[in-house]
Structures are given as structure tokens and as C-alpha cells.
């Protein structure tokens, strides 16, 4: 069953998904079709591991293509000029202080598709993202994370 929620993304993030979809539909589909044809030419398919592996890879590729098509269909580009910069919303850079450790961290709130923890881009659907959404500078939030509950104070919100 397809998800019917709107996916808010940046223009750049949407273009990356469209580029990946194009690559998968053209180059990857063709590559896998060639692998299947090559494996099929080797004879008995009932004992052909190469054929089974290629068919499995084809199934995964088609699932990814379907997911990308669904996400792109539901995507809405967020115009940063229309976002209230006094509160934490998608595309906000939010600097928080962990009140237990005193450590400061800056996160960029993004869509699930654009999230990348190595770049401190967190999804608005993640526990921390959900906890920060709609909050203002100075707010203290308690967020349940896998390691327990963390108390974060919002130090700064910017774009």
C-alpha cells in the first residue's frame, strides 16, 4: 500500500531523486536485463544461481523504482522564503545544547529522503526531528531516543 503523505523536499533533493530514477530506469534496467539474458543462455534455469541472483536483483531494482516514483509523485518543493524562521521547521538549521553533557550540536531538518547523519541532516520524522519541529529558541525539549531520554535546549534557529 502506497503512503499518501506529502513529502516536503528541497529543489536539489527532488532533482537528485529524479536523476536516480532516470539512471535506474535506463542504465540499471538494461544492465540487469543483459545479466538475465546471459544467465538464461547458459541452459537449465532450475540450477542456475546466476539467473536466480539476477532475477532477485531485478526485483530489488523494480521495488526501488516504484518507491522513487511514489516519493516524487508526493513531493512538494519547500520555498525557504515562505518558512517562518523563528521556529524550527524543515530546512532549519537548529543548534541545540544537550543539558546533560553540555555538548552543542547543529542539525539541519530535512525530509526523510534527504537525511544524512554524517552531514548532520536529520529527518523531520526522526525522534529528534519531531521533537524540534515547531519549537523556538530558548525552548527545552525532552526527546525519547534509543539510548533513553535526552533534554535539549534550542540555542539558535537559522536558515
- For residue 1, give the C-alpha cell: 500500500
- Give pLDDT tens digits for 104-131: 999 999 888 888 889 999 988 889 988 9
Is residue 119 assigned to a domain?
yes
- Give pLDDT tens digits for 24-74: 999 999 999 999 998 888 877 777 888 889 999 999 999 999 999 998 888
Q: What share of the chain is helix, strand, coil (3-state, %, to 5)?
A: 45, 25, 25
Last residue of a domain, one of 77, 94, 112: 77
Same domain as 36, residue 84 = no
Last residue of a domain, one of 60, 77, 94: 77
Alpha helices in 9-141, H assignment, sequence order: 11-23, 29-40, 49-74, 127-132
Rounded distance, CA 13 to CA 57, Å?
Answer: 25
- Give pLDDT tens digits for 9-33: 778 888 989 999 999 999 999 999 9
Same domain as 64, residue 19 = yes
Rounded distance, CA 72 to CA 7, Å?
Answer: 8
Q: Confidence class of residue 4 from pLDDT cuts 50, 70 and 90?
A: low
Is the distance from CB of 124 to CB of 108 less than 8 angstroms?
Answer: no
Q: Could you give the number of structural domains in the chain?
A: 2
Is residue 2 assigned to a domain?
no
Is residue 1 assigned to a domain?
no
Residue where the block lists cell 544537550: 98
Same domain as 93, residue 41 = no
Rounded distance, CA 131 to CA 39, Å?
Answer: 51
Output the pTM of the full model.
0.61
Domain range holding 43?
A: 7-77
Amino acid at each position: 500500500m502506497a503512503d499518501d503523505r506529502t513529502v516536503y523536499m528541497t529543489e536539489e533533493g527532488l532533482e537528485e531523486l529524479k536523476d536516480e530514477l532516470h539512471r535506474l530506469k535506463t542504465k540499471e534496467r538494461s544492465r540487469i536485463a543483459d545479466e538475465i539474458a546471459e544467465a538464461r543462455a547458459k541452459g537449465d534455469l532450475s540450477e542456475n544461481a546466476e539467473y536466480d541472483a539476477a532475477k532477485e536483483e531485478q526485483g530489488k531494482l523494480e521495488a526501488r523504482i516504484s518507491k522513487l516514483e511514489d516519493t516524487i509523485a508526493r513531493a512538494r518543493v519547500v520555498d525557504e522564503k515562505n518558512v517562518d524562521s523563528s521556529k524550527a521547521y524543515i530546512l532549519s538549521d537548529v543548534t541545540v545544547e544537550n543539558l546533560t553533557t553540555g555538548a552543542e550540536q547543529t542539525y539541519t531538518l530535512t525530509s526523510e529522503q534527504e537525511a544524512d547523519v554524517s552531514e548532520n541532516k536529520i529527518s523531520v520524522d526522526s525522534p529528534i526531528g519531531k521533537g524540534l519541529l515547531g519549537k523556538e529558541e530558548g525552548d527545552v525539549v525532552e526527546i525519547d531516543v534509543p539510548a533513553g531520554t535526552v533534554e535539549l535546549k534550542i540555542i539558535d534557529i537559522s536558515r
